Amino acid sequence: MSAVETIHVNGAWRGAASGAQREVLDPADAKTLAVVAEGGVADTDAAVAAAREAFDEGRWPHTPVAERAALLRRVADLLQRDREAIALTESRDTGKTLEEGRVDVDDVTNAFRYFADLVVNESGGRVVDAGSPEIHSVVVYEPVGVCAMITPWNYPLLQASWKIAPALAAGNTFVIKPSEITPLSTVHLMKLLVEAGLPAGVGNLVTGTGDPVGARLAEHPDVDLVSFTGGLASGTRVMEAAAATVKKVALELGGKNPNVVFADACATEEGFDTAVDQALNAAFIHSGQVCSAGARLIIEDSVRDRFVAELARRAERIKLGRGTEPGVECGPLVSAAQLAKTERYVAAALADGASLRCGGSRPEPSQIRPATGYFYSPTVLDHCHGEMSVVREETFGPILTVETFHTEDEAVALANDTEYGLAGAVWTADAGRARRVAGRMRHGTVWINDYHPYLPQAEWGGFGKSGVGRELGPSGLNEYREPKHVYQNLAPRPVRWFKG
């Protein structure tokens, strides 16, 4: 395939029907990293048609579960074979560090293996007791059909795998549209699927923008499910477009996530050091461009001054640069637009009365290499409150806001004072308090004395405006299946309801 044949339809790589192309930029220096095809409605329709035919006429939906699982395991092995190459692609495309890229590849590998194991180890259906030995009643699960997948720019490979692996395990066909900003690792993953033996038409890829490609997928009458990960505004439009055809919708729309620290978690030097270290990780991994980022530090007032002072001191020492450079701890923002958005949020917060403890600007060119990318210094904003846009809205930048509380009830109220509900954490040495607070927090994932880990076996998703449905875990598989009740009368006889 040539450099611009990044659209994959019915087993063949091609350029856009219109011939359009798009440059993919390296966020570390704003230079062209690659050129990809810029797909449109015609490409999208062709991809959906291929997926529709492969589902309706092909054998994949009827392939034995063991064979589908074997293909997923082959993909996992190929991901590990290409681990360094994919990690490098992900680092250059998104700006994250090379080590983060390696972790992503390992997590993707685990997801493919998990869903392979899950479907193989399932029973043949759920038997329903109908109250009579003459009735055999069972609930079975069948694939939804053609699945449209729209993925974000921050974790392109990971988010693709969270959709593709369960969809294939369940027997579906799909069309995936990666973000136009970071499409390269998804293209690589599609190549591995083909190499692993995925039949033509089962998996299709269209590179292009949300409008028209994503919009067309959401509204397409031959699509049975649309799974979208991204921002709230875009997710709302996806849901609106999907409503006309009453297709299934799964949305993961991010969060504004609280990291609640009680004073007793900092009672020892080791506890204090751990809580500060994890607050940095929560907020500044991948320059804060994480849907579950702990961007809201909610800290007990008695330890606030010492904690925030040490947090700011360490944040100032984070080494910025190209993610592939040795020693670099944090890369650039993904685009010029994301950099400008971060600057606007910080300016608004300062105008609203926040106190700048560190960061708040682009780094001096002499402090980073290369010096021309979309870099922004890790920023800590103190004296914040819930009326500030920087506290209420998802910034997706290296910004940490600080709020304080005095009582447990106040901490819970602040943690839940958001229209989102994706993730959050509570730090305390009191086991009873940990369970109480975790139980009261209205978030899809709650960590206790930790931040950011996830397990492919455990569901991921949120409350409120963080979305609809779940990824990962058994529920993540069931998003891609339809339950069917099969009721068999083993001794049929006349009912005589009608006497004639």
252 is catalytic: yes
Distance CA(163)–CA(73), nearest Å, equals 16
**Does residue 81 sit in helix, strand or coil?**
helix
Residues 276, 149: Cα–Cα separation, whole Å: 37
Using alpha carbons only, what angle is made at residue 49 by residues 43 and 51, rounded to the nearest 5 degrees?
105
Residues 101-105: contacts with CB within 8 Å, 24+ apart? 101/323, 104/155, 104/157, 104/158, 105/79, 105/80, 105/157
Taking residue 317's Cβ as centre, other Cβ atoms within 10 Å add up to 10
Cis omega (within 30 of 0) for bond into 152:
no
Out of 38, 180, 252, 393, which one is annotated catalytic? 252
Kind and range of the H or E run holding 468: strand 467-468
Cβ-based neighbour number of residue 66 at 10 Å = 10
Q: Decide if 224 contacts 145 (C-beta within 8 A).
A: yes
Tokens read off for 413: 């109220």
Q: How far apart are CA 112 and CA 363, in angstroms?
A: 39
**Long-range own/partner contacts, residues 403-409 (CB < 8 A, 24 or more apart):** 403/296, 403/297, 403/298, 403/299, 404/298, 404/299, 404/300, 404/301, 404/304, 405/260, 405/298, 405/299, 405/300, 405/301, 406/300, 406/301, 408/262, 408/433, 408/436, 408/437
* Residue 25 to residue 32: CA distance in whole angstroms: 4
- 3-class SS letters over 214-241: HHHHHHCCCCCEEEEECCHHHHHHHHHH
**Identity (one letter) of the amino acid at 49?**
A
276-293: b or e for each residue (b if 16 or more CB lie within 10 Å)? bebbbebbbbbbbbbbbb
Catalytic residue numbers?
A: 252
